[in-house]
Structure 1
Amino acid sequence: MSAGIDAGAGGGAYAGKLALVTGSRRGVGLLIAEHILKHGGRVAGFARGESTIDHPDYHHFQVDVGDPASVQQGFAALKKVTDAVHIVVNNAAVLTSQYSMIMPPAAAQAMLNTNLMGAFMVSREASKMMRKGKWGRIINISSMAVSLEPIGDSVYAASKAGLTTLANVMAKELAPLNITCNSLAVSAIKTDMLSQLPQDKIAQVIAGLPIPRFAEADDILNVLDFLASERSSYITAQTIYLGGVN
């Protein structure tokens, strides 16, 4: 039988698999975690705050992915629950939208620590666990900001562009282990993070998209399922943009 998430179809598309989702308390991370649980998978969530998910197959770990020591401690705790991680969704991110000349250095550093270094550390530690089973899917949640390069998002866009390059290089390193690394660049979706930004500017961005609407949950989950599938074993080092952005 296939080793991928399609195995055990009777139990759901993610049956027999454990997915590690960062930033699982809210927004896109919460959406993804609940989707995987609904379809038969187990989920380990990394987030700075307490759990917002009540499910028998969900394990929560209070981890600040922007702190390498915290990530390593989180994996030490995770290994007490499971010896295998099959899917990683690097979703945790922070955003400060501000003109470059007045961007607080601490805010810029926080974006780099969480959005880029956090994904590196989580992928690094998870791939060591995936290596034992010679199967894995690493999916980085990127952003349309990489392509659109909006004013005020210099560091955020740069951190997400770095995330794409990170996935592409790790894809080459991990391919012999049957581990794929891809990126999903999400367009605007109604979350707490998006609510921080001026809504008139968001409206302008949406109006300029080839498909001029907000992303919906299924837009993201459709691509997630595709990239996580056993049938996508020949797809790696790719970035899929939503909304027609390229």
Structure 2
Amino acid sequence: MSTLYDDKVVLVTGARRGLGAVIADHFEQRGARVVGFSRHANEASTSDRRFDMAVDVGDPASVGAGFEAIRKRFGKLDICINNAAVLTSQYAMILPAASAKAMVDTNLVGTFLVSREAAKLMRKGKWGRIVGVSSMAVSLEPMGDSVYAATKAAVTTLANVMAKELAATNITCNTMGVTAFATDMLGQLPRDKVDAVIASLPLARMATREDVAHVLDFFCGPGSECITAQTVYLGGVH
């Protein structure tokens, strides 16, 4: 096990599966104590280094309860990865309002609520790293992803504004824009559509666990004190 994040407490939202599970595993393998927020977390899987909780990031009361548990168990939070997201890919004219609202509530409001509470804990320790997970959909603007892409663009704007507000407290806020990565969410999309998008990228391949880990370590590891309000896209998207 690496010791890069020894003594760090890391929160990962949407940690039960997909990209969130990969991110949580990465920090745990590098020495961190990891808190995972998911709507349907398997709380029985908790250990000394891993603490999973059932938290709906779009619900202020649920988020508040989750952070109270972090305070009681750890007394601090060092790193927050806002990964939780939902996607309904449909043309705007037939996209149900409920689906649009669900994306806004989870992808944007959830990121705001978690970032806000994370900053309150980090401020006490005078150090913190908040990373939002965005998407290549922001740049590519694919048909069928109007609301999803809009919420992910908002994640970047949110991080950039909060970076200014939190700079004096030694908390940085950055964004990782993920390209195609093998998850259940990606599996919702037609394979030919996914293949066409990948083929259009400057680096025409799926992202790997290592690709994601390198960006996270850039934002959260030693030497990142002067890196804030930045977005790094995988795959050459810009």
TM bucket, shorter chain: over 0.9
Partner of 2:40: 49
Asked if 1:152 is matched to 2:144, the reply is yes
Partner of 1:67: 59
Deviations 1:154-187 (A, max 9, x none): 0000000000000000000000000000000000
Q: 2: distance between equivalents of 1:139 and 1:50?
A: 21
Counting only pairs closer than 5 Å after superposition, residues 31-50 of structure 1 correspond to structure 2 as: 31-50=22-41
Against the structure 1 CA distance between its residues 80 and 217, is the aligned structure 2 distance closer, same or farther, given a 3 Å change threshold?
A: same
Partner of 2:4: 13
Structure 1 position 107, deviation (Å): 0.4
Conservation of the 8 A alpha-carbon contact between 2:2 and 2:29? no
Indicate which of 204, 209, 225 corresponds to 2:201: 209
Structure 1 position 243, deviation (Å): 0.3
Partner of 1:187: 179
Indicate which of 3, 7, 15 corresponds to 1:24: 15
AA of the residue aligned to 1:132: K
**How many pairs does the alignment contain?**
237
Conservation of the 8 A alpha-carbon contact between 2:91 and 2:144? yes
Q: 2: distance between equivalents of 1:219 and 1:88?
A: 19
Structure 1 position 230, deviation (Å): 2.7
| Counterpart secondary structure, 1:101 | helix
Counting only pairs closer than 5 Å after superposition, residues 1-246 of structure 1 correspond to structure 2 as: 12-51=3-42, 55-246=47-238
AA of the residue aligned to 2:15: S
Structure 1 position 92, deviation (Å): 0.2
Q: Which runs of 4+ in 1 moved over 6 A?
A: none
Structure 1 position 12, deviation (Å): 0.6
AA of the residue aligned to 2:168: P
Q: TM-score, normalised by structure 1?
A: 0.94
Structure 1 position 68, deviation (Å): 1.5
AA of the residue aligned to 1:64: D
Question: Which residues of structure 1 form unaligned runs of 5+?
Answer: 1-9
Q: TM-score, normalised by structure 2?
A: 0.97
